[in-house]
Amino acid sequence: MQIIPTINPQVNYLEVEKRLEKIKDLSAWIQIDVTDGILVSPPTFPLELLKKPAINLDKNIFDIHLMVKDPINWINKCLFIEATRITAQVEMMEDREKFVTTIKDSGCEAGLSFDVDTPITNIPAETDLILIMGRSMGFTPEILDAKIYDKIKQAKSFGKLVALDGGASTNNIDKLVDAGIDIIYSYHNYFDLINYGKND
Tell me the sheet residues that pair with 64.
32, 86
Tally of domains within the chain = 1
Is 183 within a domain? yes
Per-residue pLDDT at 100: 98
CA-based diameter of the chain, in Å?
47
Per-residue pLDDT at 199: 47
C-alpha distances in angstroms, 25 versus 47, 84, 128, 179?
Answer: 21, 18, 25, 29
Nearest to 8 by CA among 175, 159, 197, 187: 187
pTM of this structure: 0.94
Is 191 within a domain? yes
C-alpha distances in angstroms, 11 versus 41, 83, 142, 195?
Answer: 10, 21, 21, 29
C-alpha distances in angstroms, 150 versus 16, 28, 60, 159, 184?
Answer: 34, 29, 32, 15, 16
What's the CATH number where 130 sits?
3.20.20.70
Q: CA–CA separation, 107 vs 84, rounded Å?
A: 8
Per-residue pLDDT at 200: 42
Is 114 within a domain? yes
Per-residue pLDDT at 13: 86
- DSSP helix/strand/coil, 4: strand
- pLDDT tens for the chain, residues 1 to 200: 999 999 987 667 888 999 999 999 999 999 999 998 888 878 888 888 898 888 899 999 999 999 999 999 999 999 999 999 999 999 999 999 999 999 999 999 999 999 999 999 999 999 999 999 998 776 666 789 999 999 999 999 999 999 999 999 999 999 999 999 999 999 989 999 999 866 44
- Full residue range of the structural domain in which residue 165 is found: 2-195
Is 200 within a domain? no
Per-residue pLDDT at 143: 86
Per-residue pLDDT at 134: 92
